[in-house]
Amino acid sequence: MMDSLPSTPGKFKVDKPQYHYHHHHPRQLILRWHHSPLLSKLAFWSFLAIALLVAFFFLSPTTPNSSSASGRRSLRNAAPWGGPDWEKRVRSSARVRRPGGISVLVTGAAGFVGTHVSTALKRRGDGVLGLDNFNDYYDPSLKRARQALLDRAGVFVVEGDVNDGPLLLKLFDVVPFTHVMHLAAQAGVRYAMTNPSSYVHSNVAGLVSVLEVAKSADPQPAVVWASSSSVYGLNSHVPFSEVDRTDRPASLYAATKKAGEEIAHVYNHIYGLAITGLRFFTVYGPWGRPDMAYFFFTRDILRSKPISIFEGPDHATVARDFTYIDDITSGCLAALDNAGKSTGSGGKKRGSAPLRVYNLGNTSPVAVSHLVSILEQLLKVKAVRNVVKMPRNGDVQFTHANISLAQRELGYHPTTDLNTGLKKFVRWYLEYYPTSSSKKGSRGGSSSAI
């Protein structure tokens, strides 16, 4: 695609709250408050905690390496928007050009998955408008190159942040989107250990910001958004199914994605938004993210640099359900086509709406060590391997997707095996980095397997 250009869902159980009412005269309550040192101390410390939390997120000093800082800068220094010419570009990009087509706002459009999904939608005649803040979590020049690709395909990418409420309101004022494909997020498991606030800013606050605008729109769009296979956390039942428990996250990234699923339930329940969550399993392919193992393994093998391959307890194999980008793209389009309709308008619910979550994986876990062997064959270079114990940094030992629900309800059928997918990736990599020694890459430069 891009390389040529290029059971039942989890049910939410609502427990009946147990309310205990105690009737007191208001004067009694006031007297108890003033004469209770415990309550006074509790109020003081609660206020102090809230103040510290606000200070942490909004008043902390910004640094060049802070993704959350860049997120806040994006709100203050975002590219100018508005005006007749800008609105004309927005409408033109979002115009539907096929009978029965849809008009989609794609957040994170200059990201890996966002670029492929936006291009595929545009190719089939749907209206597509992109939104991206071009942050520096990894080399922004790669995002700009994707933006140029989208521009050639006829997709306009608005430069802005999903937390910019006025911008989102303006976009919905200019275009009555039928769907939102929410892919903007702070990615990566390990980076959460050094910049946790960026995950709250993007993955929690960002999702709420999008849902707030969507629920108030008239008509309301259907929302499809990227959750993650990371929500399965410490779950040991394989393959991972949508009905498995997801209440034991192994990383802050996973916790924010799990929080997103609960937030989605709220907006579906109260406002009638049709919401579909997609749990992606280790997506790879051309135009991918430099912080992913297959990407920086390729870079470091070509540079003859050692690569660290993790192993579990007792030398157990670390494996991933690697899923090629074209298969993920097909699943995203199928989710949009089967998203159902939101039932509210202007924030008022008028009936029940679909709330679903699907695994999108390949169902064929591969050992990371075997991935390295495939790269060695394709690059014709022997890797310098360093096998090390998996650190306690949020990574999990094994992922394996049960995709029977997506197969049944979305018609999702992945077709690309790892050998074929990596061959396409390597071909793209050698074209994009022709010297094979480019210093473009991900934050940190640690060459270790996810």
Cis omega (within 30 of 0) for bond into 239: yes
The pLDDT confidence band at residue 78, using thresholds 50, 70 and 90, is: low
The pLDDT confidence band at residue 274, using thresholds 50, 70 and 90, is: very high
The pLDDT confidence band at residue 193, using thresholds 50, 70 and 90, is: confident
For the four alpha carbons of 148, 72, 182 and 440, in that order, the dihedral sign comes to positive
Q: Which of 411, 269, 280, 291 is nearest to 342 (CA)?
A: 269
The confidence score (pLDDT) of residue 2 equals 57
DSSP state of 436: S
- From CA 82, how far away is CA 91, in angstroms rounded? 12
Q: Which of 69, 86, 89, 88 is nearest to 77 (CA)?
A: 69
Pair type for strands 222-226 and 179-182: parallel
The confidence score (pLDDT) of residue 394 equals 56
| Three-state secondary-structure class, residue 385 | strand
The pLDDT confidence band at residue 439, using thresholds 50, 70 and 90, is: very low
Are the C-beta atoms of residues 226 and 281 closer than 8 Å to each other? Answer: no
Q: Which helix (H) or strand (E) holds 379?
A: helix 368-379
Determine the residue type at 446.
S
- Least confident piece of the model among 16-20, 232-236, 425-429: 16-20
Count how many Cα atoms sit within 13 Å of the Cα of residue 150 in the half-sphere of its side chain.
32
- Write down the pTM of the prediction: 0.81
Rounded mean pLDDT of 346-359?
92
The confidence score (pLDDT) of residue 40 equals 47
The pLDDT confidence band at residue 423, using thresholds 50, 70 and 90, is: very high
DSSP 335-360: HHHT------BTTB--S---EEEEEE
Rounded mean pLDDT of 9-19?
37
Rounded mean pLDDT of 156-185?
98
- Least confident piece of the model among 42-51, 252-261, 300-309: 42-51
For the four alpha carbons of 374, 281, 196 and 395, in that order, the dihedral sign comes to negative
- From CA 320, how far away is CA 394, in angstroms rounded? 15
The confidence score (pLDDT) of residue 310 equals 87
The confidence score (pLDDT) of residue 162 equals 98
Query: Residue 58: pLDDT above 90?
Result: no
The pLDDT confidence band at residue 64, using thresholds 50, 70 and 90, is: very low
Residues annotated as catalytic (active site), given as ranges: 253
The confidence score (pLDDT) of residue 77 equals 53
The pLDDT confidence band at residue 80, using thresholds 50, 70 and 90, is: confident
pLDDT digits (tens, 9 = 90+) for 315-350: 788 899 999 999 999 999 999 999 999 999 877 898
The secondary structure of 287-331, three-state, reads CCCCCCHHHHHHHHHHCCCEEEEEECHHHCCCEECCEEHHHHHHH
Q: Going by C-beta distance under 8 Å and a sequence separation of 6 or more, which residues neighbour residue 100?
A: none
DSSP state of 12: P
The confidence score (pLDDT) of residue 431 equals 96
The confidence score (pLDDT) of residue 168 equals 98
CA distances from 206 to 120, 168, 314 (A): 24, 11, 40
Rounded mean pLDDT of 285-309?
96
pLDDT digits (tens, 9 = 90+) for 103-117: 999 999 999 999 999
The pLDDT confidence band at residue 396, using thresholds 50, 70 and 90, is: confident
